[in-house]
Chain A
Amino acid sequence: DAGITQSPRYKITETGRQVTLMCHQTWSHSYMFWYRQDLGHGLRLIYYSAAADITDKGEVPDGYVVSRSKTENFPLTLESATRSQTSVYFCATRGRYEQYFGPGTRLTVT
């Protein structure tokens, strides 16, 4: 089926480890986004990309790295995970008008 997929759906890692969250879309939408969602903070934008090889920081980019070598993929890497990065991470794409979200990745950093 067309849409957005995220992997893994659940991840437990240790402080200091590198973790990569994957996001894949089948629509060929130009825009892709990474958000984190935490109680009390709502949805916060981490990074976004307007096209392959074009990325920009959002509200909370520190500690995260993104790349976009292909239109359909937008991986998010936590270079050295911290407990404060325990969260639910959502990837999204945007077509001409509407934004669509993936199912999310629940990340726990111990």
Chain B
Amino acid sequence: KQEVTQIPAALSVPEGENLVLNCSFTDSAIYNLQWFRQDPGKGLTSLLLIQSSQREQTSGRLNASLDKSSGRSTLYIAASQPGDSATYLCAVRAGNTPLVFGKGTRLSVIA
């Protein structure tokens, strides 16, 4: 059974710092991996999608990498801002099965 782990569960950084959020999964036979952002009291917003054949995807200050063989993905946020404060969730998909989610990393960027 696929399990997804996100470490740390919470992270607090000063504004302007570059940071890395980690996601690991137990079964490397994935179809794709998706990173989401969730603001308090809101729904999930898709940030980046990486197909199993890809190594990374970039969107603005965000860069997500995927190492399928080691069961790891990282989300890199450059020059963090207070507006980046949110919970970040990682989820993996195998074929036509539902996404399996990690429990998220709660990020606070302090001005």
Contacts and interface: CB of A to CB of B under 8 A. Distances in A.
Q: For chain A, which range describes its interface: under 10, 10 to 19, 20 to 34, or 35 or more residues?
A: 10 to 19
Interface residues of B, number: 20
Interface stretch (B11-19, B44-52, B59-67): B44-52
A97 B49 contact: yes
Classify the interface of chain B: helix, strand, loop or mixed.
Answer: strand
A98 B96 CA distance: 12
A98 B33 CA distance: 9
- A contact patch SS: strand
B102 A101 contact: no
Interface stretch (A43-51, A62-70, A78-86): A43-51
Contacts, number: 39
A99 B103 contact: no
Given A42-B104, A98-B49, A99-B91, 18 more contacts: A33-B98, A42-B89, A42-B101, A42-B102, A42-B103, A43-B89, A43-B101, A45-B98, A50-B96, A58-B98, A92-B44, A99-B46, A99-B93, A100-B46, A101-B36, A101-B43, A101-B44, A104-B42
Interface of A: 31, 33, 42-43, 45, 48, 50, 58, 90, 92, 94, 97-104
